[in-house]
Amino acid sequence: MIQQLTRHKTVEQLQSEAGSRGEFRRVLGVWQLTAIGIGAIIGVGIFVLAGQQAAVNAGPAVVVSFIVAGIGSACAALAYAEFSGMIPVTGSAYTYSYAVLGELFAWIIGWDLILEYALIVAVVAIGWSGYVQALITQLFGAHLPVWLQGAYDPANPGSGKVFDVVAAAISLVIAWMLTIKTEWGARANTVIVVIKVIGVLLVIAVGAFYVNPANWHPFVPPLTHAADGTSRFGWAGVLAASSIVFFACFGYDTLTTAAEEAKNPQRDLPRAVLLSLAISMALYIAVSLVLTGMVPYPQLNSAAPVDSAFKALHLDWVRGIINVAAVAGLTSVLFAFMLGAARIWFALSRDGLLPGWFAHVHPRYGTPHRPTAILGLFSAVVAGFLPIGEVAELVNIGTLSAFIVICLSVLILRVRRPDVRRGFRSPALWLVAPIGMLFSLFLIIGWPWVTGGQFHMIGGLARITIDRFVVWMAVGLIVYFAYGIRHSHLARDD
């Protein structure tokens, strides 16, 4: 039994499969891959979290929170870059862990990421719906029927809302784009990412003229204690904010799931991983400085902080452009995460851990159309019928778990297989990989912090989130032991 659970594919086997299968069409260049990464990274981080966390946790020092989060994310990014240049096979973290830690760990990561990515699509679709409905009202003065404006929310039973038709529709449209042809979707995504980046640059360029340096003082607001026992601001608040904004600093992992659709994966994937994170972090830092310099940070505590800052300064002509850029930004996030979920599902099925029916590409379009269609329907139903708060609780812990596994795996492979050709070799790996693991662990359980002689854990995920994650993992183990362990293609060699 132990031998079955730890059986794994060799690096050479995976490299050979990547070059011989020919199931996907190699159509993606380095800039299209980079656009997928930027598309996944930049979204709610710039348009929501930067302002909100400045208002409630970090003040102007939210820029430090992004830097701390960026360092932790960069450690994982370097591990992903080394793996993607060494094992250019679709499946990302699932495939990498299959080569190092064995089948059971690979299954756990793959099963976990399918849910995480699909729920991220649903969450972002709900946010996309809100921006689009606001734009429709602003431009045309029109409204959807109340019952189609959003999901029923038990916290607000009198709202009259039943189904979020816009969120469901965009989930299906993205699935259709990814089914027809990857390159069509990638080209559309690249255009969307360009629009988003232009919008962000506009925020920086225009906002910079209205920065008042007095708004940056104090840069780290003094620590305050609320009546409920929670603390805000101070350096503890900066760390707490870094735990939250970290979730705006990943997404580059989605581009590695398209490895078999890259023209030159061993060269382009590592470049795209690092480029997408570097560009995104530069924009995050610049926007954080501009927003907190434009208005006093308490004014940024709203659902749309960027819009609020420009509204406060009566820059209405910029607000419309920003809202269009926000819609574009969220669209590219949808594209990247649905692409990633479908390809991880495909990889699991191709290896026999899920039924092989899912591992067929479309005979005309060369895309994994069956997983994509099912994920589109699933995301549409979740986004249409569930309020965002209930969907968002599960989207973080899986990615952090994957980061820990990837950082550990790349270290193990350096020891076990130092001879393997690597398209990219991470510098200072024995420093950055442990930092990446510790950072991800602290984001799950909280940052250790001592104040007033007492030990506290700052940030961390809610207990209910961890409990639900455990339930999902238990279901996954049942599926694996009932089906995957017997049907795995590696079982033929046992």
Q: What pLDDT was estimated at residue 47?
A: 76
pLDDT tens by residue, 246-265: 767 878 887 887 777 788 88
Q: What pLDDT was estimated at residue 478?
A: 94
Q: Which residues of 127-138 are buried (b: 16+ CB within 10 A; e: fewer)?
A: bbbbbbbbeeee
Q: What pLDDT was estimated at residue 168?
A: 92
Q: Where are the beta strands (DSSP E) in 46-193?
A: none
pLDDT score of 184 more than 70: no
Q: What pLDDT was estimated at residue 396?
A: 67
CATH class of 2-108+176-315+337-361+394-493: mainly alpha
Residue 225: φ, ψ to 5° = -120, 125
Domain boundaries, the chain: 2-108+176-315+337-361+394-493
Contacts of 327 (CB under 8 A, 6+ apart): 128, 131, 132, 135
Helix (H, G, I), strand (E, B) or coil at 232: strand
From the CA atom positions of the chain, what is the Rg in Å? 22
Maximum mean pLDDT: which of 121-130, 156-165, 365-374: 365-374
Mean pLDDT (whole number) for 226-253: 76
Provide the pLDDT confidence category of residue 195 given band limits of 50, 70 and 90: confident
Provide the pLDDT confidence category of residue 26 given band limits of 50, 70 and 90: confident
Q: What pLDDT was estimated at residue 28?
A: 81
pLDDT score of 286 more than 70: yes
Provide the pLDDT confidence category of residue 395 given band limits of 50, 70 and 90: low
Mean pLDDT (whole number) for 287-297: 93
DSSP state for residue 455 in the 8-state scheme = E
**What's the mean pLDDT when you consider all of the chain?**
82
Residue of 94, 80, 16 lying closest to 343 (CA atoms): 94
**Rounded distance, CA 363 to CA 358, Å?**
13
**Rounded distance, CA 446 to CA 270, Å?**
30
Mean pLDDT (whole number) for 54-68: 91
pLDDT score of 477 more than 60: yes
pLDDT tens by residue, 110-134: 888 888 888 888 878 887 887 788 7
| Angle (CA) 164 168 173, round 5° | 145
Give strand pairing partners of 225. Answer: 231
DSSP state for residue 221 in the 8-state scheme = P
**Rounded distance, CA 478 to CA 288, Å?**
45
pLDDT score of 375 more than 70: yes
pLDDT tens by residue, 411-466: 998 998 888 888 888 988 999 999 999 888 887 777 666 555 555 566 665 666 67
Burial of 389 per CB tally in 10 Å (0-12, 13-18, 19+): exposed
Q: What pLDDT was estimated at residue 392?
A: 54
Q: What pLDDT was estimated at residue 214?
A: 94
Helix (H, G, I), strand (E, B) or coil at 176: helix
**Rounded distance, CA 216 to CA 254, Å?**
35
**Rounded distance, CA 463 to CA 108, Å?**
20
pLDDT tens by residue, 41-60: 887 677 777 888 898 888 99
Contacts of 353 (CB under 8 A, 6+ apart): 103, 107, 110, 480, 483, 484, 487, 488
| Angle (CA) 448 44 278, round 5° | 75
Provide the pLDDT confidence category of residue 157 given band limits of 50, 70 and 90: confident
> pTM for the full model?
0.79
- Asked if 276 and 41 touch (Cβ cutoff 8 Å), the reply is yes
